[in-house]
Amino acid sequence: MTATIFRHATVIAMDPQRRIIEDGAVRVTGNRIQAVGASAEIATQPGDRQIDCRGKLIIPGLIDAHGHAGHCLIRSLASDTSPSWMKIVTPLYYHFTTRDFWYADGLVSGLERLRAGVTTGVSIISSMPRSDDPEFAVNHARAYSQIGLREIICTGPAGLPWPQQVTRWDSGTPLRRSITFAEMMEGAEAAIQTLDGSDQGRIRVYLTPFTIVPSIDPSNISTPDQAVALTPDDRMHARAVRDLARKYGIRLHSDAFAGHIRLAFQDQENALLGPDIHLQHCWGISPDEIDILAQTGTHVTHAPPGRATPVIEMMSRGISLAITTDGTAPSRYFDMLQTARLFQSVQHVQRNHDRFFFPPGKVLEMITIDAARVLGLQDQIGSLEPGKKADLVVLDMDQPHLTPDWMPVHRLIHQATGADVETVMVDGRLLMQGRQVASVDVKDALEQGRHEAAALVRRAGAQSHMHDPGWGQLYRTF
């Protein structure tokens, strides 16, 4: 079988030895990495395709273990509006999105991730998971499949109250309905049946309830004082989610905030805790809750700034933790390198400007091999090792802001951005080379995104959430 060989690069393998190979090479056969080493050691066979990577850096494909689908088409909308942003955009997702909207967002978000070197991305359908129409998940995954990326679709039941009000636009006119918890679970199951393992395994589905315990305020770090025992709804919720996950052998993902972990642990049989789940945020959790995470082997993901998250305290207990983007709205981006730098900067400030928190090597681990570990995919992706899937990124380091040539990990974490990504391979396929996307028509995809975003605003009457930038103002009033 002919191979593709990337030669003469600086290779940061992220393997157990954490090798940095100057004048290195990576040989890919089919969809697997065959060899990683010095260029002189990697033999060429007749018919092999060789890519000269002088002045470039090769790293594993970046992994975003928590992001929200739909965010790319509402960027900046309601970003400076009262009440809180979440209370505005969740009704937009629940009452004004269409199946075409979710396909268009898949194209735009997938292209943004691709061009930033993100080869595996988690996509939660809506700001709060919306599973009543499984076609939303199917359409989003269809776009990622066309681009060629790995996507983990996260779908599951919304939080309380149940039933939830939703609006469908299948016929072109709005049809409002009440969706029960059972119907939400049925929609999630349909998405699992259709998508999990599809596109040659590049599309996966994780079951994702909004929070691990639905009966307390999901975004309030003072919640431990508001609930002391699981409710019947909490127990039913955990049992239903666990049963469905066991039925299909799939992993779990959810949000957790102060109080959730302590309450969830009361249900030992069905607790949404353990090595098959990763929890986002974990704002304001107590030392006792950190102990529970460590005891159960639960993984955690964190989006900066998130200053109420006890990152170092969790990691000191051996809890696997990855950096995530949390999506692209209202003012974020899918650029994992910039997100990682923001994480590092926040930690510096929190730790009295101690620049030893976090070293660039550890930060890079948290968006590659550590992120693969929290997803349960560390044996497939996250590092450049023989036998692993051929997901890799080539960055052009021959640029003023990345000069001089020493300390490549420092330059990657401290100065590089997604715009420096030149070439991306996923599953052995070159999806982008020389910044040119090979799999889809970028201009057409972006036009679809603009069209669907504008249509959403018209349907929702959301023009009121578009504001001037506040010229000359110190503070916006409402």
Domain spans of the chain, in order of start: 3-59+384-437, 61-374
Confidence of residue 142 (pLDDT cuts 50, 70, 90): very high
* Helix, strand and coil in the chain, % to nearest 5: 35, 25, 40
- Of all residues in the chain, the percent with pLDDT exceeding 90 is 88
Architecture of domain 61-374: Alpha-Beta Barrel (3.20)
Report pLDDT for 210.
96
pLDDT average, residue stretch 351-361: 84
Is the pLDDT at 329 greater than 60? The verdict is yes
Q: Which residue has the tokens 């010095």?
A: 38
pLDDT digit string (tens) for 33-52? 999 999 999 999 999 999 99
Is the pLDDT at 166 greater than 50? The verdict is yes
Q: What is the pTM of this model?
A: 0.97
Does residue 219 contact residue 167 with C-beta atoms inside 8 Å?
no
pLDDT digit string (tens) for 285-326? 999 999 999 999 999 999 999 878 999 999 999 999 999 999
Is the pLDDT at 243 greater than 90? The verdict is yes
User: How far is it, in rounded angstroms, from Cα 314 to Cα 318?
Assistant: 7
Bridge-based pairing state of the strands 32-38 and 20-29: antiparallel
Report pLDDT for 446.
98
User: How far is it, in rounded angstroms, from Cα 392 to Cα 382?
Assistant: 9
User: How far is it, in rounded angstroms, from Cα 386 to Cα 88?
Assistant: 47
Task: Return the half-sphere exposure (C-beta side, CA atoms, 13 A cut-off) of residue 15.
Answer: 17
pLDDT average, residue stretch 108-123: 98
pLDDT average, residue stretch 459-463: 95
pLDDT average, residue stretch 398-423: 97
Is the pLDDT at 477 greater than 70? The verdict is no
Is the pLDDT at 222 greater than 70? The verdict is no
Confidence of residue 229 (pLDDT cuts 50, 70, 90): confident
Report pLDDT for 313.
96
Question: Which is higher by pLDDT, 136 or 356?
Answer: 136
**Class of the domain covering 3-59+384-437:** mainly beta
Strands (E), 268-376: 277-283, 299-302, 321-323
User: How far is it, in rounded angstroms, from Cα 220 to Cα 284?
Assistant: 9
pLDDT digit string (tens) for 251-293? 999 999 999 999 999 999 999 999 999 999 999 999 999 999 9
Is the pLDDT at 221 greater than 70? The verdict is no
pLDDT average, residue stretch 461-466: 92
- Of all residues in the chain, the percent with pLDDT exceeding 70 is 97
Strands (E), 156-313: 164-168, 175-179, 203-207, 252-257, 277-283, 299-302
